[in-house]
Homo-oligomer: A and B are copies of this chain.
Amino acid sequence: MTHLPMPRRQFITGGLALAAAASFSPLTQARNPQFTIIGLVFDDYETLDLHGPVEMLGHVPNASIKLAGKRQLARSYQGPSVLCDLDLTRTYPCDLFLIPGGLATRTLVNDPELIDWITRQAAVSKRVFSVCTGAALLAKTGLLDGHKATGNKMAFDWIRSVGPNVEWIGKARWQESGKYLTASGVSAGTDAALQLIETVHGKDVADRIQTLAEYDRNRDPGNDPYAVEA
Protein backbone atom coordinates (compact mmCIF):
# COMPACT_ATOMS: atom_id res chain seq x y z
CA MET A 1 0.00 0.00 0.00
CA THR A 2 1.30 3.43 -0.90
CA HIS A 3 -0.83 6.25 0.39
CA LEU A 4 0.60 9.73 0.55
CA PRO A 5 0.93 10.75 4.18
CA MET A 6 -1.74 12.95 5.60
CA PRO A 7 -2.71 16.10 3.62
CA ARG A 8 -5.96 15.42 5.34
CA ARG A 9 -7.68 18.76 5.19
CA GLN A 10 -7.52 18.52 1.40
CA PHE A 11 -10.05 15.75 1.21
CA ILE A 12 -12.09 15.51 4.35
CA THR A 13 -14.92 17.86 3.70
CA GLY A 14 -18.07 19.02 5.39
CA GLY A 15 -19.35 17.46 8.57
CA LEU A 16 -16.66 14.86 8.72
CA ALA A 17 -13.91 17.48 8.84
CA LEU A 18 -15.59 19.08 11.81
CA ALA A 19 -15.88 15.74 13.54
CA ALA A 20 -12.24 14.91 12.89
CA ALA A 21 -10.96 18.34 13.89
CA ALA A 22 -12.96 18.55 17.08
CA SER A 23 -11.61 15.30 18.56
CA PHE A 24 -13.86 14.67 21.53
CA SER A 25 -16.09 17.29 23.01
CA PRO A 26 -15.70 17.78 26.77
CA LEU A 27 -19.45 18.24 26.96
CA THR A 28 -21.45 15.38 28.33
CA GLN A 29 -25.16 14.76 28.34
CA ALA A 30 -26.88 14.60 31.67
CA ARG A 31 -28.13 11.03 31.39
CA ASN A 32 -25.39 9.47 29.30
CA PRO A 33 -21.89 10.85 29.57
CA GLN A 34 -20.02 10.47 26.30
CA PHE A 35 -18.28 7.08 25.96
CA THR A 36 -15.21 7.80 23.86
CA ILE A 37 -13.42 5.10 21.90
CA ILE A 38 -10.23 5.34 19.85
CA GLY A 39 -9.49 2.47 17.46
CA LEU A 40 -6.02 2.01 15.99
CA VAL A 41 -5.99 1.05 12.32
CA PHE A 42 -3.27 0.14 9.84
CA ASP A 43 -3.01 -1.49 6.44
CA ASP A 44 -3.77 -5.23 6.60
CA TYR A 45 -5.78 -4.95 9.79
CA GLU A 46 -8.25 -7.83 10.15
CA THR A 47 -11.77 -6.61 9.37
CA LEU A 48 -13.81 -8.22 12.14
CA ASP A 49 -11.18 -7.53 14.84
CA LEU A 50 -12.13 -3.88 14.43
CA HIS A 51 -15.71 -3.87 13.19
CA GLY A 52 -17.16 -6.54 15.50
CA PRO A 53 -16.37 -4.40 18.57
CA VAL A 54 -17.28 -1.21 16.67
CA GLU A 55 -20.73 -2.67 15.93
CA MET A 56 -21.46 -3.35 19.60
CA LEU A 57 -19.67 -0.37 21.17
CA GLY A 58 -21.29 1.99 18.68
CA HIS A 59 -24.72 1.25 20.11
CA VAL A 60 -23.75 2.30 23.65
CA PRO A 61 -25.73 5.46 24.44
CA ASN A 62 -23.68 8.53 23.49
CA ALA A 63 -20.73 6.51 22.21
CA SER A 64 -18.20 8.23 19.98
CA ILE A 65 -15.81 6.08 17.96
CA LYS A 66 -12.87 7.51 16.05
CA LEU A 67 -10.15 5.69 14.15
CA ALA A 68 -6.50 6.68 14.39
CA GLY A 69 -3.79 5.75 11.92
CA LYS A 70 -0.57 6.83 10.26
CA ARG A 71 -2.15 7.68 6.93
CA GLN A 72 -5.42 8.99 5.51
CA LEU A 73 -6.75 5.52 4.88
CA ALA A 74 -6.13 2.05 6.27
CA ARG A 75 -6.81 -0.86 3.95
CA SER A 76 -8.12 -4.02 5.59
CA TYR A 77 -6.67 -7.43 4.77
CA GLN A 78 -10.04 -8.17 3.12
CA GLY A 79 -9.83 -5.15 0.81
CA PRO A 80 -12.10 -2.30 1.91
CA SER A 81 -10.45 0.77 3.43
CA VAL A 82 -11.46 2.88 6.41
CA LEU A 83 -10.86 6.58 6.94
CA CYS A 84 -8.49 7.60 9.73
CA ASP A 85 -10.28 10.35 11.65
CA LEU A 86 -7.15 11.08 13.67
CA ASP A 87 -3.41 10.83 13.08
CA LEU A 88 -0.67 9.57 15.39
CA THR A 89 1.03 12.94 16.00
CA ARG A 90 -0.63 13.15 19.42
CA THR A 91 -2.60 11.02 21.85
CA TYR A 92 -6.31 11.22 22.65
CA PRO A 93 -7.65 10.81 26.19
CA CYS A 94 -10.52 8.34 25.95
CA ASP A 95 -12.57 5.76 27.78
CA LEU A 96 -11.46 2.86 25.60
CA PHE A 97 -8.50 2.27 23.30
CA LEU A 98 -9.13 -0.57 20.83
CA ILE A 99 -6.23 -2.40 19.17
CA PRO A 100 -7.20 -4.85 16.41
CA GLY A 101 -4.89 -7.47 14.98
CA GLY A 102 -4.15 -8.72 11.52
CA LEU A 103 -1.37 -9.86 9.27
CA ALA A 104 0.35 -6.49 9.60
CA THR A 105 1.11 -7.01 13.28
CA ARG A 106 3.91 -9.42 12.32
CA THR A 107 5.92 -6.45 11.07
CA LEU A 108 4.38 -3.67 13.18
CA VAL A 109 5.75 -5.15 16.42
CA ASN A 110 9.09 -3.99 15.03
CA ASP A 111 7.93 -0.41 14.40
CA PRO A 112 9.31 1.54 17.40
CA GLU A 113 7.34 4.69 16.57
CA LEU A 114 4.05 2.83 16.56
CA ILE A 115 4.85 0.90 19.75
CA ASP A 116 5.79 4.20 21.41
CA TRP A 117 2.48 5.75 20.30
CA ILE A 118 0.54 2.74 21.62
CA THR A 119 2.36 3.09 24.95
CA ARG A 120 1.49 6.78 25.24
CA GLN A 121 -2.09 6.30 23.99
CA ALA A 122 -2.65 3.50 26.52
CA ALA A 123 -1.50 5.88 29.27
CA VAL A 124 -4.31 8.35 28.49
CA SER A 125 -6.96 5.62 28.03
CA LYS A 126 -9.13 4.42 30.91
CA ARG A 127 -9.25 0.94 29.41
CA VAL A 128 -7.27 -0.82 26.68
CA PHE A 129 -8.81 -3.62 24.61
CA SER A 130 -6.86 -5.75 22.15
CA VAL A 131 -8.37 -8.28 19.75
CA CYS A 132 -6.57 -11.20 18.12
CA THR A 133 -2.91 -10.46 17.30
CA GLY A 134 -3.49 -6.91 18.53
CA ALA A 135 -2.32 -8.52 21.79
CA ALA A 136 1.19 -8.74 20.31
CA LEU A 137 1.27 -4.99 19.67
CA LEU A 138 0.09 -4.33 23.21
CA ALA A 139 2.49 -6.89 24.71
CA LYS A 140 5.41 -5.31 22.85
CA THR A 141 4.93 -2.12 24.88
CA GLY A 142 5.63 -4.06 28.08
CA LEU A 143 2.35 -2.84 29.58
CA LEU A 144 0.96 -6.38 29.79
CA ASP A 145 3.97 -7.69 31.74
CA GLY A 146 2.74 -9.58 34.81
CA HIS A 147 -0.86 -9.48 33.54
CA LYS A 148 -3.00 -12.39 32.42
CA ALA A 149 -3.79 -12.02 28.73
CA THR A 150 -4.88 -13.94 25.66
CA GLY A 151 -4.89 -13.59 21.88
CA ASN A 152 -5.40 -15.38 18.58
CA LYS A 153 -4.98 -19.13 19.09
CA MET A 154 -3.75 -19.75 15.53
CA ALA A 155 -0.82 -17.40 16.24
CA PHE A 156 -0.42 -18.06 19.96
CA ASP A 157 3.20 -19.21 19.92
CA TRP A 158 4.22 -16.06 18.11
CA ILE A 159 2.18 -13.78 20.39
CA ARG A 160 3.77 -15.43 23.42
CA SER A 161 7.23 -14.87 21.99
CA VAL A 162 6.54 -11.13 21.69
CA GLY A 163 5.55 -10.83 25.36
CA PRO A 164 7.64 -13.34 27.33
CA ASN A 165 6.77 -11.70 30.68
CA VAL A 166 3.00 -11.84 30.14
CA GLU A 167 0.98 -14.63 31.77
CA TRP A 168 -0.65 -15.95 28.57
CA ILE A 169 -3.89 -17.91 28.97
CA GLY A 170 -4.39 -20.56 26.30
CA LYS A 171 -8.03 -21.27 27.12
CA ALA A 172 -9.91 -17.99 27.23
CA ARG A 173 -12.35 -16.38 24.83
CA TRP A 174 -11.22 -13.16 26.49
CA GLN A 175 -9.19 -12.17 29.57
CA GLU A 176 -9.47 -9.14 31.83
CA SER A 177 -6.61 -7.88 33.98
CA GLY A 178 -6.57 -4.41 35.49
CA LYS A 179 -7.42 -1.91 32.76
CA TYR A 180 -6.53 -4.41 30.04
CA LEU A 181 -8.98 -6.62 28.16
CA THR A 182 -7.52 -9.03 25.60
CA ALA A 183 -9.70 -11.11 23.28
CA SER A 184 -8.87 -14.29 21.43
CA GLY A 185 -8.99 -14.42 17.60
CA VAL A 186 -11.12 -12.22 15.35
CA SER A 187 -14.74 -13.00 16.29
CA ALA A 188 -13.86 -13.25 20.01
CA GLY A 189 -13.57 -9.48 20.02
CA THR A 190 -17.31 -9.17 19.50
CA ASP A 191 -18.08 -11.28 22.57
CA ALA A 192 -15.45 -9.44 24.60
CA ALA A 193 -16.90 -6.08 23.54
CA LEU A 194 -20.32 -7.09 24.87
CA GLN A 195 -18.72 -8.21 28.14
CA LEU A 196 -16.97 -4.85 28.40
CA ILE A 197 -20.25 -3.05 27.72
CA GLU A 198 -21.91 -5.10 30.47
CA THR A 199 -19.09 -4.26 32.90
CA VAL A 200 -19.08 -0.54 32.16
CA HIS A 201 -22.70 0.18 31.21
CA GLY A 202 -24.67 -2.68 32.77
CA LYS A 203 -26.37 -5.87 31.69
CA ASP A 204 -29.47 -4.14 30.32
CA VAL A 205 -27.44 -2.11 27.85
CA ALA A 206 -25.42 -5.14 26.74
CA ASP A 207 -28.54 -7.29 26.33
CA ARG A 208 -30.32 -4.59 24.36
CA ILE A 209 -27.37 -4.28 21.97
CA GLN A 210 -27.08 -8.06 21.57
CA THR A 211 -30.77 -8.22 20.63
CA LEU A 212 -30.51 -5.29 18.25
CA ALA A 213 -27.68 -7.09 16.45
CA GLU A 214 -29.54 -10.45 16.61
CA TYR A 215 -26.33 -11.82 18.06
CA ASP A 216 -25.88 -15.17 19.79
CA ARG A 217 -23.42 -14.08 22.43
CA ASN A 218 -20.81 -16.23 24.14
CA ARG A 219 -21.08 -15.09 27.77
CA ASP A 220 -18.46 -17.43 29.22
CA PRO A 221 -14.79 -16.48 28.77
CA GLY A 222 -13.88 -20.07 29.63
CA ASN A 223 -15.91 -21.36 26.67
CA ASP A 224 -13.12 -21.14 24.11
CA PRO A 225 -13.72 -23.50 21.17
CA TYR A 226 -10.24 -22.78 19.86
CA ALA A 227 -8.29 -23.18 23.13
CA VAL A 228 -4.64 -24.25 22.99
CA GLU A 229 -2.12 -25.42 25.56
CA ALA A 230 -0.55 -22.34 27.10
Identify the A interface with B (CB < 8 A). 1-4, 10-11, 13-16, 39, 46-48, 50-52, 54-55, 57-59, 63-67, 72-73, 75-83, 85, 152-154, 184-188, 190, 211-216, 218, 225-226
Contacts and interface: CB of A to CB of B under 8 A. Distances in A.
In the complex this chain forms, how many copies of it are found?
A: 2
A10 B8 CA distance: 11
Contacts of A154: 211-212, 214
A14 B10 contact: no
7 contacts: A39-B80, A55-B78, A58-B79, A81-B82, A185-B213, A186-B215, A214-B226
Contact of A80 (B65, B153, B188, B212): B65
A59 to B, nearest CB: 7
A214 B190 CA distance: 11
B79 A64 contact: yes
Best-buried of A64, A214, A218 by chain B (most CB within 10 Å): A214
Nearest to A13: B4
Contacts of A10: 10-11
B72 A11 contact: yes
Contacts of A11: 10-11, 72
A79 B54 contact: yes
Closest 9 CB pairs of A and B: A58-B78, A11-B11, A2-B14, A51-B51, A185-B214, A48-B55, A65-B79, A186-B213, A81-B83
